[in-house]
Amino acid sequence: MRQTWPEIPFAAWQETCTTLHMWTQIVGKYRLARTPWQNHSWHATLYVTARGLTTSLVPDGPGGVQVDFDFIDHKLIVTATDGTSKTLPLSPMTVADFHDRFRTQLNAIGANASFHGAPNEVADPIPFAEDVTHAAYDADAVNRFWQALVRIDNVFKHFRTGFVGKASPVHLFWGSFDLAVTRFSGREAPPHPGGFPAMPDTVTREAYSHEVSSAGFWPGGGPIDDAAFYSYAYPTPDGFAQAKVAPTDAAFDASLGEYLLPYEAVRTAADPEHTLLDFLQTTYEAAASCANWDRPALECPFGSPGVPRALG
């Protein structure tokens, strides 16, 4: 039976979304501080789970630590590999309070609670310990957001199976607060100009060291008014902005340099999964064709459960 995609109008939960964004930055920065650097900052991201979001296992404490956001029972769970665990109920609280309580949890299980104390990729960042402005938590809105992530994560993972070249995991970047999946041509890219707010240019240049076609999902805020999917290429090849993509609701945003598709257009489509997959595939094809990627060597049919990929 086809699942209903939840309504997540940004204006209705904007304050909660901003607070949750900062909470994920705090947890993400803990993982970032303890995990060896991986290409394109893949070591710092969060992942969608059956109950919310997770860091996966972080090398710290007695052997490893995992931090989980539970958006069903609304709690943060910090678990060490020696069996110790601490729980923080998620409810309206300031970012400063969350930061303090989370660090207390880490200390209590023998983990290292030291990490960078201010957000990245946001204008006018407020240090976490001083942020008493953002404090909203609408549990129903957060649950609906997570339910949307679950559906999007499934489609993104299906899309990822159609590529044998280098590709990222499907993961949530807590800096820009977007769920993303990226394909690579295998060729090096020109140095990225950087310029993201509160983000070292060295990090941006490493992230874009090679040509990409990247797609993702934003819940809203910042450069867009409401939840939307995006797709872009770096560097942007000639003709990309003029390419024909699907569905008809998708359009190239010249100010952002990428294609946007409203989440609401996907949610209300007769077949949301197929509609989103069309957007991902046609915008990738536009990027790869305009940039002359070696598509026959990089692409394969989408995968099916239990069926090995055919060779030759």
- Asked whether the predicted pLDDT for residue 3 surpasses 90, the reply is no
Q: Is the pLDDT of residue 1 over 70?
A: no
Q: What is the pLDDT of residue 311?
A: 87
Predicted TM-score (pTM) of this structure? 0.97
In sequence order, which residues have a C-beta less than 8 Å from that of residue 80 and are 6 or more positions away? 61, 62, 63, 64, 65, 109, 110, 111
Listed by start position, the domains of the chain span 10-130, 140-298
Please state the rounded mean pLDDT for residues 148-154.
Answer: 98
* pLDDT above 70 for 4: yes
Give the residue-averaged pLDDT of 216-242: 96
pLDDT digits (tens, 9 = 90+) for 94-105: 999 999 999 999
Give CA angle at 95 (85, 137), nearest 5°. Answer: 85
Taking the C-alpha atoms of residue 24 and residue 132, their distance in angstroms, rounded to an integer, is 16
Burial, 142: exposed, middle or buried (Cβ in 10 Å; 0-12, 13-18, 19+)?
buried
Task: Please give the pLDDT value at position 32.
Answer: 97
Q: For residue 225, how many other CB atoms are within 10 A of its CB?
A: 11
pLDDT above 80 (res 219): yes
Q: What is the pLDDT of residue 310?
A: 86
Give the model's pLDDT for residue 150.
98
- pLDDT of 62 reads 87
> What is the pLDDT of the chain when averaged over all its residues?
96
pLDDT tens profile 109-139 = 999 999 999 999 999 999 999 999 999 999 9
